[in-house]
Amino acid sequence: MSNVYPICRPRRLRRSDSLRAIFQETEVRIDDLVLPIFVEENVSDYMPVSVMPGVMRIPESRLAFEIERCAKTGIKSVMTFGISHHMDEVGSDTWNENGLVARMAQICKHTVPEMIVMSDTCFCEYTTHGHCGVVHDYSVDNDATLVNFGRQAVVAASAGADFISPSAAMDGQVQAIRTALDDAGFYETAIMAYSTKFASAFYGPFREAGGTALKGNRKTYQMNPMNRREAIRESLLDEQEGADVLMVKPAGAFLDTIRDIREATHLPLAAYQVSGEYAMIKFAAAAGAIDEQQIVRETLGAIKRAGADIIISYFALDIAEQGF
């Protein structure tokens, strides 16, 4: 009886590095990555974030140096988070034209004008209670928070921010910000909305990094991680309200949501590889359980393959410096 050989042999295209490279379908480039940075005012020393190995709180006095360093590695986009020493009940420092939100954008744009600055637009790092807006009767007041969103957005845009990135998960936040920006003449300032933001346990390490005072949770305004249809609805509402870019956060556990939204919209789509995702990889690599570089490639590749155009990742600087 004669031997029967397979006609279709997919392995033909995997025989060498060159063949595998030429037929690779998904590529993550440094241009696709945004580096989140934590900037603390009124301090002189860097502060390591113990639960996020390799991540530091940057003293405001060193921000210009760090932006130059990022630019030299090829990073073109940063997202700014402030650690404020001027907290109050409503986060009013965020709409102070000389406050930390404004100063971060000014320093970044003055140092490297071509750097794309995405100003995280929220209140949790600037309020004494750690919630993302105005608290009345133990609940976040959605509409009072919208007014303050407009104030913060105009201050950030005035300081040079290229993107306003509202992350508080308030209903109508994109419309409120777009109206405030347009009324102030900032027609060209874009909005990258945290349009599908889940109430996720993957944010845990961020609390140390960002210095939030939160007690309790944000489940009344962030999304239930078990809801798929609602996730699509949330992002499409932000598109209707004038968002220029949509976002899914977190990324790794919600690849199905990234794909769903990619198929539902023609807007650019971002995804945020959050602090918990970063920490798990770092700690597992330190324990010798995984190869960090390979895992970073795979996780970022999966996010891109699912449909994200932009990936916000704490690994961006590692990749830029070490060429993962």
User: What backbone torsions phi and psi does residue 139 show, to the nearest 5 degrees?
Assistant: -135, 150
Q: Give 158: exposed, middle or buried? Use CB within 10 Å, 0-12, 13-18, 19+.
A: middle
Question: Catalytic residues, which ones?
Answer: 197, 249
Single pTM value for the model = 0.94
What contacts 287, CB < 8 A, 6 or more positions away?
none
User: What backbone torsions phi and psi does residue 77 show, to the nearest 5 degrees?
Assistant: -140, 135
Full DSSP string of 49-74:
-TTSTT-EEEEGGGHHHHHHHHHHHT
Q: Give 192: exposed, middle or buried? Use CB within 10 Å, 0-12, 13-18, 19+.
A: buried
- Gap between the Cα atoms of 177 and 263, Å rounded: 26
Question: In the prediction, which pLDDT does 2 show?
Answer: 62
Do 161 and 177 meet the contact criterion of CB atoms below 8 Å apart? no
Q: Which two structure tokens, joined as six digits, stand for 139?
A: 């609940």
- Gap between the Cα atoms of 251 and 81, Å rounded: 19
Q: Which amino acid is at 49?
A: V
Per-residue pLDDT of the chain (324 residues; tens, 9 = 90+): 567 899 999 999 999 999 999 999 999 999 999 999 999 999 999 999 999 999 999 999 999 999 999 999 999 999 999 999 999 999 999 999 999 999 999 999 999 999 999 999 998 889 988 788 888 877 889 999 999 999 999 999 999 999 999 999 899 999 999 999 999 999 999 999 999 999 999 998 887 776 666 676 777 889 999 999 999 999 999 999 999 999 999 999 999 999 999 999 999 999 999 999 999 999 999 999 999 999 999 999 999 999 999 999 999 999 999 876
Measure the CA angle with vertex 223, ends 304 and 86; round to 5°: 95
Torsion of the alpha carbons at 179, 243, 186 and 313, rounded to the nearest 10 = 130
- H-helix or E-strand containing 19? helix 17-22
Question: In the prediction, which pLDDT does 122 show?
Answer: 92
What contacts 232, CB < 8 A, 6 or more positions away?
196, 257, 260, 261, 264
- Gap between the Cα atoms of 167 and 192, Å rounded: 9
Cis peptide bond N-terminal to 250, omega within 30:
yes
- Gap between the Cα atoms of 205 and 293, Å rounded: 21
